[in-house]
Structure 1
Amino acid sequence: MTTLLRIDSSARTQGSVTRDLTARIAKAHDGAQVIHRDLAETPVPQITENWVTANFTPADDRTDAQVEILALSDDLLAELEAADTIVIGLPVYNFAPPAALKAWVDNVARVGRSFRYTAEGPEGLLTGKRAILAMASGGTAEGSEIDFASTYMRHILGFIGITDVTVVAADQMALDADASLEKASKQIESLQAAA
C-alpha cells in the first residue's frame, strides 16, 4: 500500500481552493493510506534559537529538553519519510507561500535528516518520492517571474531530494475563476489517468 501525505496550509478552513484541490488529489490516489497534516488546525511554530541549538547538537548529546524541542520536527520528518507521494496545498500569499508552510519547511529541512553536505555540495536524502503542489492564486501566474511560491517549493523539495514535482494550478483566480478551476480539474484528471 502506498502512503500519501496531504499538507494543507491555507488559513481558510472553509471555501479554500487549495484545500478542495488537495482533497481531490488525495481521492484520486484511491487505496493509498493518507496522512493529513493541517497547518491551520495545528500550526507549526517558527524555529527559535533554542530549536537551532538543539538541531545542531549531536543527537547523542541532546538534553531531554532539546529532544522535546525537536519532537514536532521529528514527527514532521517521519511523515515525509513514510510518504510515497506528498500533496501540498499552496495558496499564494503576497507572491509567496504562507508563513505556516514556511514554518513547516524550516522544520523539515534539517541537515543529516533530509539533506547532507558533501564535497560536491548539498545532497537531498528524501529521494524516490513524488510531490504534487496544489496551487491557487488571485493574480500570480504559476511559473511567472512573480511566482515565488511554486518556484520556492520546487527548489526546497529538490533540495531535500524530491525532484518529481507536479503543479496543479488554479492560478489567476481573480481574472477568470471558472477557467482556472477548470484547468486545475483537467490536471487532476490527468493525474488519475496516469495513476
Structure 2
Amino acid sequence: MASEAATAVELDEEQRLVEEAQRGNLDAMRPLLERYAPPLYGTVILPRLGDAATAEEVLRDTLATAVEKINRFTWQGKTIYPWLRQIAINKVYDVHRASKRSRRLADAMAQELPSETDPDASPDAQMMAEEERTLHRARIDEALAGLNERYRTAIQLRLVEELSREECARRLEVTVGTFDVLLHRAVRAFRKKFGDNPGDES
C-alpha cells in the first residue's frame, strides 16, 4: 500500500511532526491527517460501512481521536498509518455495534405494535403486512430516539435483553411493581410517538 511504503525522508518528516505534536503543537498533525485521510476513507472505512455519509462522519471521528490520543502513539520507525488505520477500524466496529443494538431494540418494539393482519390471513396478505412493518422501521427508530433515557433502558432490558422483571427492577433500583409501571409507560410513550395512539397520554 502506497500509504505504508514511505521513503526514509518521509519517515523522518513523519517522526518530526509526530514528536512536535506530542510536545503540544497539535497543528503539526495536519499534514499527516491530510496525507492519510484519503486512504483511510477509501480503503478502510467506506468499504466496511457502505454509506458515504456515515463513512465521512467516522473519518472525522477517527482524525479527531488521533489528535486527542497522539501522546499514546509510540514511534517505532514506521509510518503512523497503521495506528490511524486501527483507530478507524475500531470506530467502524463501534458503528456496527450501535447499529445492531438499535436494530434489536426496533425489532423488539415492532413486536409491541398491534398486528393489523389476522394470523389466518392469506400468504399475500401476510406478505403485505410484513412489507408494511418493514416500512415502519424508520418511524420506529425515530420514535425510540425520542424517548427519555429511563424509558429506553426499561425497554432495552425487558424486551431486547429479555431479562426477568426482577432483574430489570434491580438494575433500575426500583421495585418490581414500579418497573412494571415504568415499562408500561415506556411502551405507551413509544406508541404515542409512533402515532399508534395519538390521543393516549403518557
Structure of larger gyration radius:
2
- TM-score class, shorter-chain normalisation, is under 0.3
Which structure has more RCO (C-alpha within 8 Å, separation ≥ 6)?
Answer: 1
Comparing both structures, which one devotes a greater share of its residues to helix? 2
What TM-score comes out, normalization by structure 2 length? Answer: 0.25
Comparing both structures, which one devotes a greater share of its residues to strand? 1
